[in-house]
Structure 1
Amino acid sequence: MTKLINCQVANRWEDGLLIGNGGLGMVLYGAPDATYLDLSKQDLFLKSNNMHNLPYLAPHIEKLRNIIDIEGYTKGIHYFYEKAKELGYEGLTMSDPFIPAARFLLEIKNDSVENYQRMTDFNRGTIRITYESSIGGKVEQVLFASKNNDCIYGKMESEHPISGRISPVIWGEIDFVQQLLNSSEGQLKWENRYQDHSGYDVVLSMHSCTGSIIASKEHLVFEDATEIYFTIQYVEKDEEILEIDSYEKALKNHVEWFQDKYNSVQLLLTDEEETIYLEEVLSEMRALNRVTPEFIQIFYQASRYIIQSMAQGIPTLQGIWSGTLQPAWSGDYTFDTNVQLAISSLASSGYFPEYLSFFERIKEYFPDFRENAKSYYGCNGFLVPAHASTTAKHVHWNEEWPLIFWISGAGWIAHFYHEYWHYTKNEKFLKEECVPFYKEVLSFYLDYGQQREGKILLSPSYSAENGMGDNTTMDIAIMKSVLKHYFDAKHYLDEDVEEEFTELYGQIPEYRLLDDGGIAEWLDERTVENDNHRHFSNLYPLFQTKEINKSTPELWKAAEIAFEKRMDSWLNNLEGDTTSSHGRMHAAMCAISLEQVNKVTQSLEALILENAFMDSLATAHYSGKEVFNVDANGSLPKVIHDCLVYSEYDESITILKTVPYFLNKGRLRGIYLPNRLYLHSLEWDVDKGFANVILVKQEPLVPVINLGVHYALIEEASYEIKQLDNQRWQYYVSFSFTK
C-alpha cells in the first residue's frame, strides 16, 4: 500500500497534497483550471515582531519570591509583569510567523473536467494529479521535492495540446517587498525583501519540447503544449542560481533516495494493496464507527511520509508547509509539547542523520537560551521559551499566560539528547553534545533552586498552560532524570562527577500524592488540581522518562489514579478542555506505559473518529480538520511501535505490550530499539495466539524479551541464536499464547 488517492478537489491549502525534502516543501491545492502551488522553506519566518529586547528582571527575583510566598502566585506574576513593562517589555509577543516563501497560480484552459484524482505516492515521494479534460484529453501533473538539487520539480503531460500560464501571487497585505526582476527565456525571478534588506529570491523556470513558452511581464505562458517541465528554486539573497539536473535524472535520484529510507520500515495490518481511495476507507470506518486496520495502516504510512518529508532541523507546528500568512500560534517552534512529539518517532524509525540535524539547529539558539536565563533570573545555563522562531528570546508571556515561569523546556530537550545516545551508543555524541547540554540544564537548576529544609525549592514554577505553583512534578522529574543521565554519561566516559551535582541529587524532594492517592501536578500544597486539561505534565516521569514503572509500585498506582482522572475529566468529557491532538498522543503514551489497552484505544479513536486530520492525512490540532498541525503525525509511528515492541525501564523488551483491536494482527519490520537493537521483523496474530520476533544486536548479549501481560503463554518461548557476522547476532523468539 503506497498510494493514497482522493477524488475531491482541495479547496484550501490545509487539504492540499504535500511534498518535501526536509528543507524545502510545497503544498498543491485548488481546481484543475486554477491550481495553487505554495512553496515553503524551513526556518522562513516573517521578520515583523519585536523579539529582541528582554527586560532585565534578575534583580527583582527575590522580591518576586517573597510576594509568591506571602501573597501567592497571582500577585507574584502581576508584580513581575508590571516590572517588566516598566523596563520596556511590550507584553506577550507572538513569534515571527512561519510563512510560505511564494505562491504560484497555475491556470489551464479547460471547458470541463472528468475523473479527477489527486494522489500521494508515499513510496516514491511524489504527488500526482490526473483528470480528463475536454481540451487536453488525459492530463497528468507530477511534482516532487529533490534533495540533491534542493528544488521543486514539476511535469505536465496531456493527450492533446493545452495552453495556460503560471503566475506568482503577490501577497500585498504584509510589510514585505516583492517584485519581479526579470522574465525571459522561460524564467521568472521573483525578489522578496524584508525591511532590513535581507531576503531571498524565488526562480520559476519552464520549458517545453512540444509547444511554446512565452515570458510576459508577470507570467510564464505556455501554448499548444503536450509536455511541460518546470522547476521552482529558493535562492538566498545575493547567491547565484545553481545549475540543476534534468527532470528525468532528478526524479531517478529522488525516488532512489526516498525509497531507500521509506521502505526500510514497514507496517502491514491487512493484505497489501498498492492503491487506497481515501473516501472509501473513511466511509467504511464511519459506517462501522470503529477504526479499521486499513485506516491505521495508511495513517501510519502517511505519517512516516510526512516525517521523512519534513525531517531536517526543528519541526514547526506545521512541519515545513504553510499556505497562510497568519498561522495559528505563528506556526512556530513550540517547545512545551509540540516539538517533542514531532521528533518522537525519529529514533525508532531510524532517521538518525535527520535527528542529528535537530541538535545542530538547536545549537543556534544557545546564546538566546543563556540570555533568557541571565536576564530574567540571573542564572547560568539554559532557559528555553515555549515559543521560538526568528529568535528564541523569551517574550511570549504575560499575566494570563505566565510562561516565563515554565522552566522545563531545556530539561525536556535533554531527554532527546539522551535518547539519541541510548539508541546509537555514539560516544563522540555523548561526550561532545550530551554532557555539555546536560551541564547547561543542571547549571540553571543549581542557580535557580532555593534550599528549604534540606530540599530544593523551584519557585516560581509553572505546569505548562495549566497553572502556577512551587515545584511542579514535571520540573522535579526533569531535574532528576537529567542528573541521572549526566551521572551515567560521566561514568561511561570514566570522568568524575562534580560534587555540587551529587549534592543537588540528594536534595530532590519526593513527589506529592493527593488524598485519593494520585500523583499531584505540583508539590506545592497551595495548588488546586485541574484534571480537565490537555497537557499531561504530572505524568512526565511515566510516559517520557519511565522513572515510574512496576518497580515503583506506589508511584505506579499514583500514576494510574492521576491518569484515570485526566481521561475522565478531559479526553472522555464532552465538555473537556479543547480537542487537542497532542493531548491525545500523550494520553496514548501514558496508557501504553500503564498497559491499559482500552485507554490507548480511546486516545487513538478520539483522534481518528473525530476527524483530526486533513485530506493528506496530515494531522489537525483540533477535531473536525481544524488547524494544520503535524505533531501527531510525528508521534503516531512511535505510539504504534510502542504498542507492539516496547523498551522497558530495565532495558528488557516487551512484545505486544498494549494492542488495540485495530492492531490485532500484522507484520512490522525495520524499527530500532535502544542499545543498538534492531527489530528485523515481528509477525503476530492475537486471535491465533502467536508472535514471532527476529531481533539483531551488535553484541553477543541475549536481550530479555517478554510477552505483554494481557496474554498467557501456552509454553515457554523458544529462542534461536545465530551469529550473522563478526559484529551482529540474530535472535529469533517465538511465543504461543492465549488471551
Structure 2
Amino acid sequence: MMKPMRYAMHMKRPASWWNDNWREGTPLGNGLHGALMYGNTANERVMLTHSRLWREGTQPDIPDVSDVLPAMRELIFAGEVPTADRMITDALIERGYAPREAFPFPAADLNLVLPAVKGFSRYRRGLDMSSAEAYVRYMDGDTRMERRGFVSRSDDVVVVECHKDTEISLSIHRPDSTDEEIKLPENVCTVVDGEWLYFKAEIAGVEHGAVARVIKGDTALILVKLYTEGDSSVKWPALKARLADLPANYAPLFERHVAEHRRLFDACRFVLEDREFDQETTNEQLLDAAYDEGMPNALAERMWAYGRYLLISATTTGGLPCNLTGLWSGDYEAFWSFNMANINLQMTYWQALQGGLSELMLPVFDYYDFAIEDMKENARKLYGCSGIFLPAVTMPGCMRHVCLAPHITNWTAGAGWIAQHYYDYYLFTRETDFLEKRALPFMTEAAKFYIDFVLWQGDTWHVCPSVSPENRTLNYKMGNIELGDGTQSAIDATMDIAVIKELFTNLLAIGDATSLVSVSDMAAYKRMLDGAPAYQINEWGAPREWLHEDFPDNDLHRHQSHLYPMYPGLEHARRDEATTEIYRRGAVRRMTVGLSCQTSWSLVQNANMMARVKEAELALESLNLIAKSCLMRNLFTTCNDWRGSGIGLEFPLAPFQLDANAGWSSAVQEMLLFSDAERVELLPALPPKWERGQIGPLHTRCGISVELSWDRDANEASVILLASRDTSYRLVMPDGGQRTITMKAGDVQKSAFGLRKEV
C-alpha cells in the first residue's frame, strides 16, 4: 500500500492583494469553523468564519406564474425569443415577488499585535496540508518569531499559538477595501474578563459572536469558538464551559485533530517526480516557473493536494456543502458566494467519490433533500409541473427560486444533473439503503418534472424553453429578429437532452436491478428514453449545442455544456473512436476559437474532458493555462486572469472561487484512471511530462480501488487492485489490451504492465 507523505506549501510574503488582502490568506477549516491567516508580522489578523453564518436572505412565497409558460413557448417557436426570454421572470416581478439572496458573512477578526523591535527578516508563511496547520515564521533582529494554528476537526475549535507578549483581541472583521460605503455589523460588544474574551455583533438584526480563551505561559495559546445565532447571555457561558473542558496546551489538541484530518486527507495520495522542485519550494518559485517555461510537476502535484485539502476543510458530515468561496470570503455581501448548480457545485465534488471522500458528498444530499418541498413549489408555480425544479442558484435559507435572471429561471436541467451525483454515489458505494431512501426518491421527483415539462411531437419530445448554460446562440435570426445579447432561451439544448436521457437511463437501470421501480414507472421511463431527440453534429464535426435548426452554435464561450454526454456524463464515454473524435473536436474548438472566453473553472472542465477523450497533453495544457493565468500567491484560483493575458475572460474583478481548485484534483484523477460500472482503464491520459509517479487508492464504479505507479524511462508500471465487494469487470491497459477480472470482496491482485509507447 502507498505510504502517506507530507504535502505543504510555503510563501515568502504575507497576504498582499491590495484592497482585498484576505484573498491571499492561508485557509484553515473543519467544515464548520473557518479561519484565514493573513500572515502579517506585527499586526496579524486571523479572519474567523462559520459555515452557517448566512444573512440578509428573504424568501417570500412564490406567486403562481405557471400560466405564462404556454404563451412563452408559442413566442419561442415563432422566433420571438428576445420577447419570450424574460416572460416568467418579469411575471414574477410584476406579481410582487421580491426575494433577496443570502450571503456568507465573516464572523470576526482575531487580532494579534506584537510590535517590531528591529524589523523582520527571513520571512516565511505556509500550510501543511497533511495536518491542516498554518504557520508564520520570521526573525526580528536575532529573535526567532513563530505563530501557528489549525481548526480542530475533532474538537471544533480554532487554535492559535503565538508569542507570549502578543496583545490579543476580538473585533468585527475589518474589510480590506477602502470603500467607505460598506455596511458593517451593528451593536458590536467586546468584553475582556481575565483570560476570557467575549464578542458579539448583529447582522440584519440577528446576533452572532465568539468566545476566546487566552492561556499565557511560555507562549500564548488561544482557543476560539463561534456561534451563529442565539443570545450572548446563553451562548457566552455555554461556549466558555466547552472551551474550559479542552486541554490547555497545543500538543494534545493538535494530536487529536491530526488523526481525524488525516483519516480523510490520507485516503488518497498523488506523487509526481520533479527533478528541480520539491515540497520546500515556495509557491512564488513554482508560479514564476509556470509563467516562464510551463507548469512544473511539483506545482501539478501541489495543486492536486490543495484542491483535496480545500474540499475537506470546507465541509463535513452534518454541515453544508462547499459553496463557491468555501469558508474563506472576507467580503461583506461576497461576490458569487452561493451554491451554483449549473457546473460549479458539481465540479467542486467531481474528485470526491474517486478520491475516497464519499462521506463529503452527504452534505450535498442533505442540502437538497431538505429543500424538496421548496423545489416542488418551484416546479408547480413556475412551470405548472409536478416533481421538482432545482434552480442553479441557491443558498442556505433560500432554496426556492431566488435569482431572478432569465438564464437561471429558464434552465431546468439542475435536478437532473444533481441526480447524477446521487446515482454515482450509489455506484461507488453500493449502499442499498441510500439508493432506496435517498437516491431513488430524489431521482423520481426529478423524473416527474421532466415527464410533465417536455413537449411531445409525434414520438419525439422537445425542451422549450431550453438553456445551454450560460451561452447564447451565434447570429440567430428568424425573419427580421436578431437574438439580443443577454437572451439564452432556445429549443432543445443538447445538455437538456443529455441530462434527461441520463436520468431515465439510470432509473431504468435501478428498475432492472431491483424491485424498487413499479412496472408503470418503468414503462413511462422507457417512453421518455425512446422519445429523446437525436444528437447532431455541426459543420465543424463537433456536437451541436442546440438541436433546433434556428439556433446555430457559438464557441465563443466558457461553458462546454453540449459535451455533457462525454463528460461529466458517461453516455458516450469510451463508446468508440469516431464518437470520441467528435467530442474531442468540440472541446478543442472551445480552447482555440473560444480561448479568450475561458475561466479557471472552464479550463478545468476542459482538462477533465480532454482526459476523458484520452488527450493527455491537451489535458495538461489546460491545467498549465490556469497556472499561468488564474492562481494567486496562496494558490487560490480566480475566475479569470486580471492581467489581460488573452487566455481567458476579460473581467476586471477576477473573483476568487475554489471550484477550479477542487476540479484540478478531479482532472488529475481522470487523467490517471477511468471507470464506469463495467470497466476500469489504467493511465488513459498520462502526459509524457509526468515521467514517474504514483497515485491511489482511487475508487471506481466497479467495486475496486486502484493503486498505480509508473516509470516512463523503464517503460513499466504496476497496479494493485483491491475489491470492496464481489465484482466482475474489464481491465483496460494503456496499450489497449484488456481482460475480464472476477474478484471476491477483500481480494487483492498485483501486476506489472508496460506503458503505451510514444509515437
- Please report the TM-score for the alignment, with normalisation by the length of structure 1: 0.89
Instruction: Provide the secondary structure at the position in 1 that maps to 2:655.
Output: strand
- Aligned-partner SS, 1:532: coil
Partner of 1:131: 138
Q: 2:47 aligns with which of 23, 38, 52?
A: 38
- Residue in 2 aligned with 1:728? 746
1:457 matched to 2:462? The reply is yes
Give the partner amino acid of 2:258.
V
Work out whether residues 105 and 169 of structure 1, in 8 Å CA contact, stay in contact via their aligned partners in 2. Answer: no
After TM superposition, give the deviation of residue 53 of structure 1 in Å: 4.2
Which 5+ residue runs of structure 1 have no aligned equivalent?
Answer: 210-225
Q: What is the match of residue 676 of structure 1? A: 703
How much has 1:174 moved relative to structure 2?
2.5
8 Å CA contact 2:76, 2:490 repeated in 1: no
1:523 aligns with 2:547: yes
One-letter identity of the residue aligned with 2:206: S
- Higher mean Cα deviation, 598-607 or 236-245? 236-245
Asked whether the equivalents of residues 40 and 100 of structure 1 are also in contact (C-alpha less than 8 Å), the reply is: yes
Q: Does the CA contact (< 8 Å) of 1:108 and 1:162 recur in 2? A: yes
Cα distance in 2 between the residues matched to 1:523 and 1:477: 12
2:535–2:544: 8 Å Cα contact kept in structure 1? yes
2:369–2:442 Cα contact (<8 Å) kept: no
Aligned residue number for residue 80 of structure 1? 88
User: Which of residues 656, 662, 681 in structure 2 aligns to 1:634?
Assistant: 662
After superposition, the C-alpha distances for 1:172-230 in whole angstroms (9 at most, x for unaligned) are: 942743421532122222223343x4332211221213xxxxxxxxxxxxxxxx41011
**Are 1:471 and 2:478 an aligned pair?**
no
Aligned: 1:267 with 2:267: no
Distance 1:170 1:474, change over 3 A: closer
Post-superposition offset of 1:310: 1.3
**Letter in structure 1 aligned against 2:413:** S
The count of corresponding residues between Structure 1 and Structure 2 is: 695
Q: Find out whether 1:481 has 2:523 as its counterpart.
A: no
Match for residue 588 of structure 1 among 591, 604, 607: 607
Q: How does 1:560-575 map to 2 (within 5 A)?
A: 560-571=584-595
1:268-323 deviation line (CA, Å, top 9, x unaligned) = 11279553322333334444x12111111122222222121113331111112121
1:444: how far off?
A: 0.5
What does residue 698 of structure 1 align with?
724
Matched position secondary structure for 2:355? coil
Q: CA deviation at 1:604?
A: 1.0
The aligned amino acid for 1:309 is: S
Is the 2:623–2:664 Cα contact (8 Å) retained in structure 1? Answer: no
Partner of 2:482: none
1:414-453 equivalence runs, <5 A? 414-453=419-458
Q: Are the structure 2 counterparts of residues 569 and 268 from structure 1 closer, same or farther at C-alpha, using a change threshold of 3 Å? A: same
SS at match of 2:619: helix
Partner of 2:532: 508
Q: Secondary structure at the match of 1:259?
A: helix
Deviation digits for residues 693-717 of structure 1 (CA, Å, limit 9, x no counterpart): 1110134545422223xx478xx99
Equivalent residue letter for 2:717: A
Which among 24, 45, 52 is matched to residue 15 of structure 1? 24
CA distance in structure 2 between the partners assigned to 1:283 and 1:536 by the alignment = 30
Alignment of 1:248-327 (within 5 A): 248-270=251-273, 275-287=280-292, 289-312=293-316, 313-327=320-334
CA contact (8 A) 1:46 1:98 kept: yes
Post-superposition CA distance 1:608-661 (Å, at most 9, x none) = 122x122222222112593221111212222111111111x4621111211223
Please tell me whether residue 659 in structure 1 is matched to residue 704 in structure 2.
Answer: no
- Letter of the 2:731 counterpart: I
Secondary structure of 2:745's partner? Answer: coil
The percent of aligned pairs where both chains have the same amino acid is: 20
> CA offset at residue 126 of structure 1?
0.5
State how far apart, in whole Å, the 1-side matches of 2:591 and 2:449 are: 34
1:232 alignment partner, SS class: strand
Q: Residue in 2 aligned with 1:374?
A: 380
Q: How far is 1:170 from its partner?
A: 5.8
Q: Which has the higher strand share?
A: 1
Aligned residue number for residue 397 of structure 1:
404
8 Å CA contact 1:142–1:154 kept in 2: the answer is yes
Helix, strand or coil at the partner of 2:295: coil
Q: Distance in 1 between matches of 2:299 and 2:184?
A: 43
Most deviating of 334-343 and 503-512: 503-512
Name the CA distance, whole Å, in 2 between partners of 1:555 and 1:273. 40
Q: CA 1:471/1:712 → structure 2, altered by over 3 Å: closer, same or farther?
A: closer
Determine the structure 2 residue equivalent to 1:686: 712
- 1:527 positional shift: 0.8
For residues 668-720 of structure 1, the C-alpha deviation after alignment (integer angstroms, 9 at most, x for no partner) is: 122211132111x2111233211111110134545422223xx478xx99x99
> Unpaired runs of 5+ in structure 2?
1-5, 175-180, 473-488, 644-653
CA distance in 2, matches of 1:451, 1:206: 68
Q: Where do residues 524-539 of structure 1 align in structure 2 (5 Å cutoff)?
A: 524-539=548-563
**Map of 1:221 onto structure 2:** none
Q: Give 1:103 shift.
A: 2.1
AA at the equivalent of 1:489: I
CA distance in 2, matches of 1:516, 1:182: 68
Could you give the per-residue CA deviations for residues 512-532 of structure 1, whole angstroms, max 9, x where no partner exists? 322443211112211121111
Structure 2: distance between partners of 1:274 and 1:105 = 30
Residues 156 and 377 of structure 1, relative CA distance in 2, 3 Å threshold: same
Candidates 229, 237, 249, aligned match of 2:221: 229
**Aligned pair in 2 of structure 1 residues 357, 720: CA closer, same or farther (>3 Å)?**
closer
Separation in 2, partners of 1:170, 1:624:
26
Contact 2:731 2:741 (C-alpha < 8 Å) held by counterparts: no
In structure 2, C-alpha distance between the alignment counterparts of 1:689 and 1:94, rounded to whole Å:
59
Contact 1:472 1:523 in 2 (8 A): yes
Q: 1:153 touches 1:232 (CA, 8 Å); kept in 2?
A: yes
Q: Match of 1:213? A: none
Give the alignment's TM-score, normalised by structure 2: 0.87
Distance 1:552 1:88, change over 3 A: farther
SS in 2 for 1:606: helix
Q: C-alpha offsets along residues 428-465 of structure 1, whole Å, 9 cap, x if unaligned?
A: 01111111011111101011112112211211111111
- Report the Cα distance in structure 2 between the residues aligned to 1:187 and 1:375, rounded to whole angstroms: 52
Q: 1:20 to 1:636 in 2, by over 3 A?
A: same
In structure 2, do the counterparts of structure 1 residues 243 and 259 end up closer, same or farther at CA, with 3 Å as the change threshold? same
Kindly provide the amino acid, as one letter, of the partner of residue 438 in structure 1. M
| Distance in 2, Cα, partners of 1:561 & 1:712 | 22
Structure 1 residues 699 and 500, CA, compared in 2 at 3 Å: closer, same or farther? closer
Find the aligned partners of 1:456 and 1:735 in 2 and give their Cα distance.
48
Change in CA separation of 1:700 and 1:454 when aligned onto 2, cut-off 3 Å: closer
Closer, same or farther: CA 61–700 of 1 in aligned 2, 3 Å: closer
Deviation at 1:127, TM superposition (A): 0.4
Judge conservation of contact 2:169–2:197 (CA < 8 Å) in 1: no
SS in structure 2 of the partner of residue 620 of structure 1: coil
Equivalent position amino acid for 1:19 in 2: L
Q: Is the 8 A contact 1:19 1:145 kept in 2?
A: yes
In 2 relative to 1, CA 153–545 (structure 1 residues): closer, same or farther, beyond 3 Å? same
Cα deviation for residue 559 of structure 1 reads: 2.1
Letter in 1 for 2:242: E
Is the aligned partner of 1:141 residue 2:147?
A: yes
Alpha-carbon distance change, 433 to 139 in structure 1, aligned in 2, over 3 angstroms: same
**Between 335-344 and 518-527, the greater mean CA deviation after superposition:** 518-527
1:167 Cα offset (Å)? 3.8
